[in-house]
Amino acid sequence: MTDAELAAYLGIKTNHPQWATFIASLATEKRASYERMHALEGEVVLWQAGLGPEPTDVLAESTREERHRAEAAERCRRKYPNDAAEAKE
């Protein structure tokens, strides 16, 4: 994927004066994730149109999932404070 294609995928207008600087500043891992997301979206479109096999790859954002679990656990601790104290014993 070229820098211009990545900018378009991310919704960045290539007529903005800083678009190339932003794309160049992306971490390699982040750029690879965006490129894989783009490829997976294409695979899903083909599958939904009946022109390709069902995609088997899954993209997961573990940081988001971990944050979500931590927030859910905190809400549970606030709602049931006695259960949390008993669990520590």
- Please report, for the chain, the start and end positions of each structural domain, with discontinuous segments joined by +: 1-58, 59-89
Q: Helix, strand or coil for residue 87?
A: helix
- Claim: this prediction has a pTM higher than 0.75: no
- Residues whose CB is less than 8 angstroms from the CB of residue 23 and which lie 6 or more positions away in sequence, other chains included: 3, 6, 7, 12
Kindly report, residue by residue over 59-84, the tens digit of the pLDDT: 666 677 777 788 888 888 888 777 65
